[in-house]
Amino acid sequence: MRRTIIPNRGDLKRKAVNYKTGLSLKLDDELRQKMDALVQNSTAQFLEETVQSLKMLRDALGRAAADPSSRHEVLEQIREEAFQIKGMGGVFGYPLLTEFGKSLHDFLKELTDLDELQQEIVSIHIDTLYVVVTHKIAGSGGPLEAQLRASLKAAIDKAKPAAKAG
């Protein structure tokens, strides 16, 4: 089979903004204020959506406790949401959301079912994420967050044998 390479006529380059002189990155005060407002609005929307997601996860966890046949579906739902929170937390300046979302996602990674102890660990994670969001704890936090980390680790360590058996 013979391949024909079509030469670039430069159309893409001509369509690019300021391709000859480059893109000016100097921001005036008005543009900077608009960008700051956009970031603040996006962050507020992210936090609001995260609160709604956490409420949904609490409901799903309650469903798993009441109906064992729904556990696998709930597990997948929580795993996916934890992955989303893990990915977005740092983008909006909430690395604790990323850290705790990762902890939850990692905890659920190998599970195929949720026994009562594992449901409790998931519940603790959801509550921890909720604390970060509702108190808008940006950055890596302080002593309270260090206690949350330690509590999560202890709970996960306690549930590990159950996670391997389940």
DSSP string, 126-146: HHHHHHHHHTT--TT--HHHH
For residues 8 and 117, what is the distance between their CA atoms, to the nearest angstrom? 61
pTM: 0.74
pLDDT at 166: 46
Answer yes or no: are the C-beta atoms of 107 and 81 closer than 8 Å.
no
User: Tens digit of pLDDT for each residue in 85-137?
Assistant: 999 998 898 999 999 999 999 999 989 888 999 999 999 999 999 999 999 98
pLDDT at 158: 82
Read off the tokens for 47: 């936090």
User: Tens digit of pLDDT for each residue in 137-163?
Assistant: 888 888 888 888 888 888 888 877 544
pLDDT at 53: 95
Task: Report which secondary-structure segment, H or E, holds 106.
Answer: helix 95-108
Answer yes or no: are the C-beta atoms of 82 and 104 closer than 8 Å.
yes
User: Tens digit of pLDDT for each residue in 37-49?
Assistant: 887 888 899 999 9
pLDDT at 70: 93
* Strand, helix or coil for residue 18: coil
User: Tens digit of pLDDT for each residue in 22-68?
Assistant: 566 677 888 888 888 887 888 899 999 999 999 999 999 999 999 99
User: Which residues, at least 6 apart from 63, have a Cβ–Cβ distance to it below 8 Å?
Assistant: 70, 74
